[in-house]
Structure 1
Amino acid sequence: MGNFWSGRNNRASIALALCIALSGGLTGSPSWAQSETAPSETQVVPPPQFLDPETPIARAIQSEMSPDLDQGLVLHYGERAFAPVWFTEDGLTENAHLTIAAMAAANEHALNPNNYDPLGFIKRSETATSEQDWARFDIDLSVQFLRYATHLSSGRVQPNAVNKALNLFPDRPDPKNLFKAVARSEDFSAFLDSLAPQSDNYARLKRRLGQFREKAAEGGFTPIPDGEVLKPGMDDPRIAVLRQRLIEEDIPGAADHNGEAYDGALVEAVKTFQEYHGLATDGVIGKNTLAKLNIPLQEKLIQMELNMERRRWMRDDLGEFYIFSNLADQNLKVVRNGKTIHTARVVVGKPYHATPVFSDQLEYVEINPFWNVPYSIATKEYLPKLKQNASALSGKQIRVFQDGTEIAPTQVAWNSYSGGNFPFRLRQDPGDGNALGRIKFMFPNRFNIYIHDTPSKSLFSRAERAFSHGCIRVSNPFKLADVLLADVNANPGHWETIRDSEKRTVIKPAAPIEVHLTYLTAWMNKDGSTHFRKDIYGRDKVLLEALRTAMTQNL
């Protein structure tokens, strides 16, 4: 029969043994999952010598084809005449060993190894004696590999099924094509690695998760005792503890500070910590900053694990030229050929007007736009005011239209209408008081969401900026226009000149520009900084519950 532990199979088995040793057992699981104690027995015993290595096992596999199996998987077995995928007459293949090892190490990707039962396959390989035993083994390993590949490449749960505001539909692996790729693979280890998102953002967060887990195993972060608000220049007995706490989270500059005065490098380190956590960067350690300093490391681990799931939903390649707005971060960036060429603060939807997550393409930019008041705003906000005072629109440059004809608001019996009976359209003229400001960036979509200017500039100075009805208000919008429309006209100030002309103007970009509205509450930047944001829409909580449910149901 041959020795499983020699030659190529030996290298695979060593990989499995190392995986077990490094992970502390095959059943290691994400922070949000319960784990069980893994048995220490790991030896894999080869399958029995079949008198006919093909026909009997093929018949056994065919007889084990359940109606509940994925049809793509059934077709794959049928095309190979029901020959086993994971073993030959010489024993388990190297691919089988590497697959079991990969599933055992799923915790590195914030997936739960228990969902793929790697230890179970080791035990079954020790006890299987018949063709039927090995047929079930082969089919079950195929099923679990398909599940593992699906979870790793496109997520544990379907985003839109978890939350209708997440309009993401990641491609799930096609079983037939997946197993064909397995058969064709010359470097199966590389193939397994390729199943995970191939983006630097995912790789960085995965690496940082591992580092934070090590810190958690060492005892976590040192808590900061309560006390009075700590301002720069003050002396405080907590200074040494604060310094140690910042060093533990690798905040730059913290280790450069000495003494018991809150000054110099330590103040700058606190400002950096505040930046990393989406707080006002004033260096003052008040209630909010102290709370962030004392968040249990376990909660940060969970937050990172949730955002690895979100990264699995996203495409690896977001395009050559794109707008990326993280709603949780309330910031926007423009990326071209892999480089960030512009950043801006944004205002996003209030929690009860939460901005949805989706991708689209910028179609045009409009300077001096009209604002066609959305039906919901017209009926819920303006109609009650008009019922009280028919002149409520006076001074707002909002006109009333019915069937395309403008009518005077004072000539309408507003008390006769309701949200279900409102035949009017409200439109605000261009101008400084226009709700859209002087420019809007349009990517027409069914949510009626777009990026625009605003007359309410003061909101951009706030640390938390969730104040809109769902659309995204952007700071320095004409600077954004300069960046996005540089291929149309690169002269600085050109678009402001059009603005000042008061003329409504529509400009189309010269090259396709993708728009990605995302929701990420934890990420790691290229410079090594790790960022966490408040879950303004409660989507972390919803996703956490969905992942726990999926785990218990073994989906």
Structure 2
Amino acid sequence: MVLMRSVRRLSARFGLAGAFAFFVFTTPAAVLAQTAASQTDAPPGADLAATEPQTPIAIAIQNAMPADLPTGLQQYYEHRVFAPVWFDQTGVKEDAHLAIAAMAGANEHALNPNNYGPLELAQQTETAKTPEEWARFDLELSRQFLRYATHLSSGRVQPNKINKALNLFPDRPEPKSFFENAEQAVDFSAFLDSLPPQSDNYARLKRRLAQYREKAEAGGFTSVPDGDVLKPGMTDARIPFLRERLIEEDIQIASNHSGDIYDGDLVEAVKTFQDHHGLATDGVIGKNTLARLNVPIQDKLIQMELNMERRRWMRDDLGDFYVFVNLADQNLKVVRDGKTVHTTRVVVGKPYHATPVFSDQLEYVEINPFWNVPYSIATKEYLPKLKQNPSALSSKKIRVFQDDSEIAPTRVAWNSYSGGNFPFRLRQDPGDGNALGRIKFMFPNEFNIYIHDTPSKSLFSRAERAYSHGCIRASNPFALADILLADNNSTAGHWEQIRDSGKRTVIKPRVPVEVHLTYLTAWMNKDGSTHFRKDIYDRDDVLLKALRRAMTDNL
């Protein structure tokens, strides 16, 4: 009864959303004692793992096995001769208590406890009397615990099924081995703790989500009234609202700023807010900054919950040496032995050329590369120009090939071709005007995506940098080469010397470097700062809809 009351209390207060303490509950001996006449002194769980499988509870479990029970879970029960998993001759096991408690507290991990029925399961421990009722309890707890563990460890939805641009395939628990591992666990509480992602990034965001939920319960964020653009040095009656709003975001204001003048530490605090939201850090409160200041706290809660789901898709260990590109943030970092050793701005795909999410390994770096013009660009952008002027691409040093033989563009009847019958390959020579710049970082993949230099440097100064056809343009790429090829015994300026020679050169890294293209719109850094980014590809909306559809789906 203690557990039942506690579950009901949490359900009423939080909708099963709060932290769930461990409450012991028991099953009366009289209830457990119901079995065959030859076993009147034994409860339903007695001798269930013995060589004799025909105990009433074993028969009941075998008969109650639902047709849609996951195959591996069926096999697990068959392997144990249909002995119950969650209770024995002494009553309901402590593992069952802990499993139900964990599912009731699932909201800590941005999962909905009501999807796993902890209230109903707790109730069954009080009402079950017959072997058939206990069999249904045992099977249902196994099914729900598997669903909970799957959602917690690898996500509620499979990313590639909701968006083909998300090429992530997280490992979902195999039921039979999962339950065998659970059964063999010396400490079941530790086993439960091992289910969610074991990365610091996940733990930090989980902690921040809890803190923001407390803020929401306390009333949420202060609204900053609309008004004219606010620049440093100006006087404005909205300053007290602004100051309060920044404090609510846990941004420190160094001095006890007061009054209506927008200056000093308050300007620096706004710049910090802008940095945390991917805005231009100019201290000017214009339309975009004001809009971000007034995002409701509930929207930020949802954004954090969605990104906890994304973290569940990711591997805990991203490698000893890796490149990490957050497409929503439009930044790249290199991590080695757990430390960030390089960061740089990047330009990513336009919304209608959205860069996909996937992981791969750096295979080689090419200095002074050719640019083999993608077929879509060749037919959609360059073919119309060639139809107007066969020499249109000569100034760009783009040459025409067919079957590996170069063809003079003036000898081609371009009006005879379209996107459906274009037999040519366009290739741009190396040089300063090459679309790939002077260096590219290749991790060959089915999407033809890679990281490269660019002759167009101005875009890196913008706060939002989604302008490419899908590939990733890196600012200061030769500094990136120095980091990624540091084990190739190169001296300072070596790669620039090759660049200046004009010689096309391919270098393979001597140490494996993993490349992870990700999409995260909310995260918490080690320094405690919480970051939110604009959903440039509308992937938050797609994920939110998918999660809502999945609310009632089975595994």
Q: Same fold (TM over 0.5)?
A: yes
Alpha-carbon separation, structure 1, partners of 2:10 and 2:248: 23
Contact 1:26 1:113 in 2 (8 A): no
Contact 1:370 1:428 in 2 (8 A): yes
Q: CA deviation at 1:148?
A: 0.3
What is the identity, as a one-letter code, of the residue corresponding to 1:237? A
Contact 1:153 1:195 in 2 (8 A): yes
Q: CA deviation at 1:78?
A: 1.2
- TM-score, normalization: structure 2? 0.93
Query: 1:27 pairs with 15, 19, 22, which one?
Result: 15
Contact 2:449 2:470 in 1 (8 A): yes
CA distance 1:208–1:18, shift in 2 (3 Å) = farther
Answering whether residue 402 of structure 2 is matched by residue 402 of structure 1, we say yes
Residues 439-448 or 402-411, more deviating:
402-411
Q: CA deviation at 1:395?
A: 0.6
Aligned to 1:387: 387
Alpha-carbon separation, structure 2, partners of 1:19 and 1:495: 64
Answering whether residue 435 of structure 2 is matched by residue 435 of structure 1, we say yes
Aligned to 2:103: 103
Post-superposition Cα deviations, 1:383-409, rounded to whole Å, max 9, x if no partner, equal 011111111112100000011111111
Q: CA deviation at 1:66?
A: 2.2
Aligned to 2:268: 268
Q: CA deviation at 1:65?
A: 1.5
What is the identity, as a one-letter code, of the residue corresponding to 1:304? M
Alpha-carbon separation, structure 1, partners of 2:309 and 2:254: 32
Structure 1: gaps of 5 or more residues: 6-12, 31-37
> 1:307-386 maps to which residues of 2 (within 5 A)?
307-386=307-386
What is the identity, as a one-letter code, of the residue corresponding to 2:339? K
Alpha-carbon separation, structure 1, partners of 2:322 and 2:56: 56
Q: CA deviation at 1:259?
A: 2.7
Alpha-carbon separation, structure 2, partners of 1:96 and 1:43: 10
Contact 1:391 1:409 in 2 (8 A): yes
Q: Any idea what SS the aligned residue of 1:395 has?
A: helix
Post-superposition Cα deviations, 1:489-529, rounded to whole Å, max 9, x if no partner, equal 34211100100000000000011000000000000000000
Q: CA deviation at 1:253?
A: 2.3
What is the identity, as a one-letter code, of the residue corresponding to 2:15? T
Aligned to 2:37: none
Aligned to 1:56: 56
Q: Any idea what SS the aligned residue of 1:488 has?
A: coil
Answering whether residue 219 of structure 2 is matched by residue 219 of structure 1, we say yes
Contact 1:115 1:554 in 2 (8 A): no
Q: CA deviation at 1:27?
A: 3.4
- TM-score, normalization: structure 1? 0.93
Aligned length: 534
What is the identity, as a one-letter code, of the residue corresponding to 2:310? R
Alpha-carbon separation, structure 2, partners of 1:211 and 1:300: 12
CA distance 1:322–1:274, shift in 2 (3 Å) = same
Contact 1:23 1:105 in 2 (8 A): no
Aligned to 2:482: 482
> For the aligned residues, what is the CA RMSD?
1.9
Alpha-carbon separation, structure 2, partners of 1:301 and 1:252: 21
Structure 2: gaps of 5 or more residues: 35-39, 49-54
Aligned to 2:284: 284
Aligned to 2:467: 467
Contact 2:271 2:283 in 1 (8 A): yes
Q: CA deviation at 1:79?
A: 1.3
Q: Any idea what SS the aligned residue of 2:179 has?
A: helix
Alpha-carbon separation, structure 1, partners of 2:98 and 2:405: 71
Q: CA deviation at 1:553?
A: 3.5
Q: Any idea what SS the aligned residue of 1:536 has?
A: coil
What is the identity, as a one-letter code, of the residue corresponding to 2:286? G
Contact 1:252 1:272 in 2 (8 A): no
Alpha-carbon separation, structure 1, partners of 2:534 and 2:252: 22
What is the identity, as a one-letter code, of the residue corresponding to 1:154? S
Contact 1:121 1:137 in 2 (8 A): yes
Q: CA deviation at 1:26?
A: 7.0
Aligned to 1:542: 542
Answering whether residue 237 of structure 2 is matched by residue 237 of structure 1, we say yes
- Identity %, equivalent residues: 75
Answering whether residue 181 of structure 2 is matched by residue 193 of structure 1, we say no
Aligned to 1:76: 76
Aligned to 1:35: none
Post-superposition Cα deviations, 1:243-282, rounded to whole Å, max 9, x if no partner, equal 0110011012266423321111100000000000000000
Contact 1:116 1:148 in 2 (8 A): yes
Post-superposition Cα deviations, 1:351-395, rounded to whole Å, max 9, x if no partner, equal 000000000000000000000001111011100111111111121
What is the identity, as a one-letter code, of the residue corresponding to 2:200? D
Aligned to 1:253: 253
Post-superposition Cα deviations, 1:188-233, rounded to whole Å, max 9, x if no partner, equal 1111010000000000000000000000000000000011111001
Q: CA deviation at 1:69?
A: 1.1
Contact 1:108 1:206 in 2 (8 A): yes
What is the identity, as a one-letter code, of the residue corresponding to 1:185? A
Aligned to 1:207: 207
Alpha-carbon separation, structure 1, partners of 2:256 and 2:456: 41
Q: CA deviation at 1:90?
A: 1.6
Aligned to 1:34: none
Residues 76-85 or 288-297, more deviating:
76-85
